Amino acid sequence: MANETTLNETTLMACHGCDLLHRVPALPEKSRARCSRCGAVLVAHRPNSIDRSLAFSIAGIILLFLANLYPFLSLESQGVVLNTTLITGVIMLVKQSMMGLAALVLLTGILVPFVLLCALVYVLLSLKRGYHLPARRRMFRLALILRPWSMTEVFLLGILVSVVKLAKMATIIPGTALFSFLALVCALAAVNVSLDPGLVWKKMDQ
């Protein structure tokens, strides 16, 4: 990790919140630099950033597969048990010809997180192993653009709310996929906390 610290010499940065220029010195462990005028975070030191975000991204992809393979909730009502997978809601919306809504849920809940994680693994693995894979910059740019549109944590809250709503009418049995999805939300949060985009850009410049 020696080259990670030597990268952090004083750099000139402009704040995205107010445009003020700053000389940002090498940051000590786990500290962050804020804009002196508007308080926006300019850079934050993420310990072991590349390794950690790579590990969490790979874990996220595996968990996303598990969350889609197994039933995530089963509902028992009037003697009938039906298994539901993560994608069932999208399929039902398509059947009810709510195409837009189905697309929105499919994108923000499943596809965007998947593409985001794959793009991150592609970029981070190539940096870690020293491979010069093509279109790395474009992939990383894509990952950063997709970040606000990955909404698994909102999806999870939506699942919990629906369970509360239905718990009075029926018996709900949580499945493997529900726990995988919960872990996926944690993995994505961990990726967000450990990823340092500035460091990734600098490493790609080398």
Partner 1 sequence: MKTTSVHPPQTAIKAGLFNCHGCSLLVRRPSNAFTGSVRCPRCNTRLHIRKPNSIKRTWALVIAAMIFYLPANLLPVTITTYMGSTQSDTIMSGVIYFMQTGSLGVGLIIFVASIVVPISKLIILCGLLLSVQKGTSWRPKDRTVLYRMTELVGRWSMLDVFVVTVLVALVRMGYMTTIEAGPGAMYFGVVVVITMFAAMTFDPRLIWDAMEKNDESTTC
Alpha-carbon distance values, 77 to 80, 84, 175 (Å): 5, 14, 17
Nearer to partner 1, 68 or 88 (CB): 88
The interface partner of residue 193, options being Zn ion, partner 1, none and the CB cut-off 5 to 8 Å by kind, is none
Q: Residue 128 binds which one of Zn ion, partner 1, none, with CB within 5 to 8 A depending on kind?
A: none
CB of 141 to partner 1, least distance (A): 5
Round to whole Å and give the CA distance between 99 and 77.
28
49: alpha, beta or left? (left if phi > 0; alpha if psi -120 to 50): alpha
Nearer to partner 1, 57 or 152 (CB): 152
Q: From Zn ion, partner 1, none, which one binds at residue 134 (CB under 5 to 8 Å depending on kind)? A: none
Q: Which long-range contacts (CB under 8 A, 24 or more apart) does 105-109 make?
A: 105/155, 107/149, 108/149, 108/150, 108/151, 108/154, 108/155, 109/151, 109/152, 109/155
Task: Indicate the residue among 58 and 96 with the shorter CB distance to partner 1.
Answer: 96
**Where along the sequence are the contacts to Zn ion (CB under 5 A)?**
15, 17-18, 20, 35, 37-38, 40
Considering the complex, what minimum distance in angstroms separates the CB of residue 40 from Zn ion?
5
In whole angstroms, how close is the CB of 34 to partner 1 at the nearest point?
7
Minimum Å distance from CB 67 to partner 1? 14
